[in-house]
A and B are shown apart, each in its own frame.
Chain A
Amino acid sequence: MAEKLQLEMVTPYRKVLSEQVDEVTAPGTVGEFGLLPGHTPLLTTLNIGELSYVQDGTISHVAVNWGYVEVENNTVTVLVETAELADQIDLERARKALGRAEEALKTLDSDDKQFKIMEAALQRAMIRIQVAGRGH
């Protein structure tokens, strides 16, 4: 495939990625979707989840927090609040966060404001662990 996608991933604190890739799979709010070169212009929000991209036959995974994706002229711009590559994840910390979130969820009522926050934290921790698992 001659055509490639330019993948740009930035967070408020730094630029995470700027690569030429063949394929991107991202966790959209309405479901996971794949992007190939020549995609029509698209603007969508992302869920907490796992974003992966294929570069020369190898797949890389990134754990992303809330954000959005814009596709235009074969450039994929991913703007997320946090993004961690598989090898950057602190597995120990993620496990602890998972434990904490689970504990908190047991005690909280489901209409509590805190419930949603902890639920998101739980999801983040789970994704982190999942992504870290793939990296090794």
Chain B
Amino acid sequence: MPSLKDIKKRIVSVKNTSQITKAMKMVSAAKLRKAQEAVVAARPYAEKVQDVISSLALREDADAHPLLGARGKNRALVVLMTSDRGLCGGFNSSITKTVEQFVRKNTEGYEAIDLMVVGRKGKELLKRRLGDSFVNVHENLSGNINYATAQLLGQEVVDGFVSETYGAVYLIYNAFKSAMTQIVTIDQLLPVVPKECDENTLVADYIYEPSQGDVLDQLLPKYVEVKIFKGLLESVASEHGSRMSAMDSASKNASEMIGKLTLQYNRLRQAAITKELMEIISGSESIKG
């Protein structure tokens, strides 16, 4: 049976925790708004690039450019995006779970699957089970996402593909739907997937300037960068959204807990008073008698 003092102490500590979770929720809400704006602003560009590239991939033969066709090497690279900090609900675990499933499902298809991890949490969560397959870990990116970061990552991916280290590259990240919902998405980065559309709408004679090869050379790495950029932005927005809802429910749980503890505290206090009264009365009764 806890004493009155113990319960009081617990109430204070739960209150402190709830103050922290409330503050974190507010911070995440503010950051979420900014991240969300960035995602929305980046979408038109990403969509346009995607449109251009996929119609391009449809028109061209797979051997027109190294990034369009599957390479000989049967090795895959998975780029996964997690957060650097914890306390954001199921954000990181859902990603790592998907990655694990993906790796297990595809072990037969590929001779090896390497992982390129963005975010400290992803590294920590997967180190024990899949640590051997890490090729590169990028930490502390999520603070300021800019296009240059994506270019850096994109370069790495493209180099790996062109040098025939990898036959396929996948991107696994949390797509941002709303503050409450994030959807774990598996995207094939390379080789480029052609868009589905019917043959009639295709324009046969496209003019390329300066030449088809040059245009493809510049465009395709861009495509990878843009995809990664969009993934990073979505991932950051999802992280904040996820943390916001996690902290919201933590705050709710804390206030519920405080209510329960206060009830218990009051009951105990009342019992103590009643007990004291009984003692006094029975004492005076016995003197009287």
Tell whether, in the assembled complex, residue A42 and residue B209 are in contact, meaning their CB atoms are under 8 Å apart: yes
Interface size class on chain A is 20 to 34
Secondary structure of the B side of the interface? Answer: helix
Tell whether, in the assembled complex, residue A43 and residue B56 are in contact, meaning their CB atoms are under 8 Å apart: yes
Q: What are the residues of chain B within 8 A of A14 when measuring CB–CB?
A: 41, 44
Interface check B48, CB cutoff 8 A = yes
Tell whether, in the assembled complex, residue A12 and residue B45 are in contact, meaning their CB atoms are under 8 Å apart: yes
Tell whether, in the assembled complex, residue A41 and residue B209 are in contact, meaning their CB atoms are under 8 Å apart: no
Tell whether, in the assembled complex, residue A43 and residue B45 are in contact, meaning their CB atoms are under 8 Å apart: no
Tell whether, in the assembled complex, residue B206 and residue A42 are in contact, meaning their CB atoms are under 8 Å apart: yes
**A41-B203, A68-B219 as given contacts; A10 in contact with B208, CB under 8 Å:** no
> Could you tell me which residues of chain B, from 32 to 67, have a CB within 8 Å of some CB in chain A?
38, 41-42, 44-46, 48-49, 52, 56
CA distance A68 to B49 in the complex (A): 10
Interface size class on chain B is 20 to 34
Tell whether, in the assembled complex, residue B215 and residue A72 are in contact, meaning their CB atoms are under 8 Å apart: no
Q: Quick one: which of A13, A15, A41 contacts B205, CB cutoff 8 A?
A: A41
Minimum CB–CB distance for A27 against chain B, Å: 12
Tell whether, in the assembled complex, residue B44 and residue A15 are in contact, meaning their CB atoms are under 8 Å apart: yes
- Which A residues are closer than 8 A to B by beta carbons? 8, 10-15, 28-30, 33, 40-45, 68, 70, 72, 77, 79, 81
Minimum CB–CB distance for B282 against chain A, Å: 80
Interface centre among B44, B219, B229 (most CB of A within 10 A): B44
Tell whether, in the assembled complex, residue B48 and residue A8 are in contact, meaning their CB atoms are under 8 Å apart: yes
Tell whether, in the assembled complex, residue B229 and residue A12 are in contact, meaning their CB atoms are under 8 Å apart: yes
- CB-defined A-B contacts under 8 Å, sample of 30: A8-B48, A10-B48, A12-B42, A12-B229, A13-B38, A14-B41, A15-B44, A28-B209, A29-B214, A40-B205, A40-B207, A41-B207, A42-B206, A42-B207, A43-B56, A43-B207, A43-B208, A43-B215, A45-B209, A45-B210, A45-B215, A45-B219, A68-B52, A68-B218, A68-B219, A70-B52, A72-B203, A79-B48, A79-B49, A79-B52
CA distance A40 to B38 in the complex (A): 34
Q: What are the residues of chain A within 8 A of B42 when measuring CB–CB?
A: 12-13
Q: What are the residues of chain B within 8 A of A72 when measuring CB–CB?
A: 203
Tell whether, in the assembled complex, residue B45 and residue A79 are in contact, meaning their CB atoms are under 8 Å apart: yes
**A41-B207, A43-B207 as given contacts; A11 in contact with B45, CB under 8 Å:** yes
Interface centre among B56, B210, B229 (most CB of A within 10 A): B210
> Chain A residue with minimal CB distance to B42?
A12
Q: What are the residues of chain A within 8 A of B38 when measuring CB–CB?
A: 13
Q: What are the residues of chain B within 8 A of A15 when measuring CB–CB?
A: 41, 44-45
CA distance A43 to B52 in the complex (A): 9
Minimum CB–CB distance for A121 against chain B, Å: 14
Q: What are the residues of chain B within 8 A of A11 when measuring CB–CB?
A: 45
Minimum CB–CB distance for B205 against chain A, Å: 7
CA distance A77 to B209 in the complex (A): 15
Q: What are the residues of chain A within 8 A of B48 when measuring CB–CB?
A: 8, 10, 77, 79
> Chain B residue with minimal CB distance to A13?
B41
CA distance A10 to B49 in the complex (A): 10
Minimum CB–CB distance for B57 against chain A, Å: 13
Q: What are the residues of chain A within 8 A of B147 when measuring CB–CB?
A: 12-13, 81
